[in-house]
Structure formats: structure tokens, C-alpha cells
A and B are shown apart, each in its own frame.
Chain A
Amino acid sequence: MPKIDLVAGLLDANEMLAEQNRTLFKQSKVFTVNLMGVPGTGKTSILEKIISSLKDKLLIGVVEGDLYTTTDAERIEKLDVPTVQINTKGECHLDAGTVRKACLDLPLHQIDLLFIENIGNLVCPAEFDLGENARLMVISVTEGNDKPWKYPLMFRRADAIIVNKTDLINYTDFDLKQFTEDMTNINQAAKIFPASATTSSGISDIADWLYKKIKKQAK
């Protein structure tokens, strides 16, 4: 019986499109951030605060991924930044092709910083490269300390992790020191930013970190 050595990756198509996105972002001089985290962790709330903090220095654009609704895009549009909504209609992650299409509706050449809010999910988005420059993850103190060990791929691939809702930390058993130790063992290189979108605590540190990365990239 014939045996065919195929050696074909199942994510080849996405990887090829992600590579094209990377070229497009580079040519357009856009720094792109893939924002990930479980539903309700505070991705949009953090984004609103970061936008307010960087809006005077950079032109920011946003791609909002959501299963069915446009509520997040409507929240971001209020901040007067170019925003495009993607509805995945049930797909649990954004892929490079969908992001590419959404980008065609944005004035990419004018934008310095593009945020892509991914679908709320800690599993699938980890595998789909969008061609981004940085992966930013949001976890909140109400989610518990065990998450890095349960979703190691997502935590390993993040460049920075925002620990949100720290205004509630005294009502939870979340242990920031333990989290930091665990992260050393999973992804030593990741930056950790304790923050609260409600009180704005920690937002300026995230904004500074992003701003420095963008300036470095632009050189």
C-alpha cells in the first residue's frame, strides 16, 4: 500500500497569512498588539484606559473581535479612534485572514498602534498568530492562581500579562507573589503589570512599556 510522506502543517495557511500581515504592518509602520484573556476579564476596559493615556502621543486603531455583538466596538468608538468590528459568528478565535480583511477598513498608514481585541478564550487564540508585534494578556484577580498551569500555552506565549481588578484583591484569595513565582517557571521573560481598569492603577506603567516598545521598533 502506498505511503505518502506529506509533512504538511495544519496551521500552514494561517502562518502564511500571519507572515503577510507582519509585512503589511511593517510597511505601514504600525505596531500591533494582540489582546487576549477570558470573557469579562477586562480587556475592553483596560483598552479604554490605555487609549486615553496614549491618545495624545500616538494615533491608535482598534480591531474588535467578538462572537456576535458590536458592543465593545461601540465603547471604543466613543473614544474617537478608528475601530473595526469582526464578528466570528461562533469561531472561538481570530485568525490572520480575518484580521487582514478588517485592516483594509482602517487607515493603516496613519496608525501608529493597532490593538486587536481577540475573542475571550484562553485556549484557541494562543495558537493563531495574527502577525502581531506583541501579545498582551489580561487576567483578573477573580480568576484564581491556578490559571497559568491550566493554560500554559497562552501564558508562555504572552509578552506581558496584566493582572487586572486589583481593586478587588482583598475580596479574593489571589496571591500576586505566588502568581509571579509561577510565571517565572512558565515564562520568565513576560512582564507582569498589576492594574485596575476601575481605579486606573497601573495603567501608566502599561502605557509606558508599550510606548517604549513602539519607539524602539520605529528606529
Chain B
Amino acid sequence: MHELTLVQSMITKISESAAIQGIQHISRINLVNGKFSGANTEALLLAFSLFKDIPLFKNAALEIEEPEIIAMCNSCHKEFIVEAYLFRCAYCSQNNVKIASGQELYINYYEGE
């Protein structure tokens, strides 16, 4: 359950930023968790619930977006969505492809006052 470590890092980053911005209550957090980041969205939500007794996060809703895995073919150079972890070009069917996105895991924005 390394999601706890990840959420801990999220809490630290937002707390630091909120202190600078003079924000005392966070209402919403938008997190981007690519489908190939390795972190599980359910586990992130569960881990976040453990931090709800911190006043800053008491009323915070955590929204998590899950962008698709996008790969680019090294032969025909087209981009395609990777379905079911099949790393094979959707246009020319060869397997020499590189991941363009879908591995990201970051705090996009938060709202509060």
C-alpha cells in the first residue's frame, strides 16, 4: 500500500502551498492519476480518508481523473490509446511503441479559502 506514501506527499505539498496562499480550508482537490501510473485510485481515496481529521482537509473532496494510456508507434508515428495493456500499434500492429502519456500522477489544482 504505497498509496499512503503518495497521499502523504500530496498532503504535505498542499499544506505548504496553502500556508503560503493563506488558505485555511480546502474544499476540493483535483488529482490526475494516469491509468498506467501504478497507483490505484480506490487506494488513494482510502488513504486520503485517513487524513480527514487534519483541519485543513476536513471538508476537502478529492476528485481523481484517470487519463488513458497513450502510446506512439515507432514505425508509423501515429498515436493511439492503449487498451487492456496491449502495447501494439492500433494502425500497423507492430509492437515497437513508446508511451506518450498515462503514467502521470500529480496534483492538478485545489480550491479553498
Contact = CB atoms under 8 A, between A and B. Distances in A.
Contact of A185 (B6, B27, B86): B86
Report the contact-size class of chain B (Cβ under 8 Å from the partner). Answer: 35 or more
Interface in B71-113: 85-88, 95-97, 99, 104-113
A123 B38 contact: yes
A185 B108 contact: no
Interface in A158-213: 184-189
Contacts, number: 92
A91 to B, nearest CB: 8
Contacts of B96: 188-189
**DSSP class of B's interface residues: helix, strand, loop or mixed?**
mixed
Interface string B12-26: 011001100101000
A153 B38 contact: yes
Contact of A4 (B86, B87, B97, B109): B109
Interface in B1-39: 1-2, 5-7, 9-10, 13-14, 17-18, 21, 23, 27, 36-39
Contacts of B85: 149, 152, 156, 186
A186 B6 contact: no
A6 B14 contact: yes
Interface residues of A, number: 31
B2 A7 contact: no
A6 B86 contact: no
Interface string A13-27: 100000000000000
A80 interface: no
A189 B113 CA distance: 49
Contacts of A4: 17-18, 21, 23, 109-112
Given A1-B111, A2-B112, A127-B2, A9 B105 contact: yes
Interface of B: 1-2, 5-7, 9-10, 13-14, 17-18, 21, 23, 27, 36-39, 85-88, 95-97, 99, 104-113
12 contacts: A1-B111, A2-B111, A4-B17, A4-B110, A7-B109, A12-B9, A91-B5, A92-B1, A124-B38, A127-B37, A186-B86, A187-B87
Interface of A: 1-13, 91-93, 123-124, 126-128, 149, 152-153, 156, 184-189
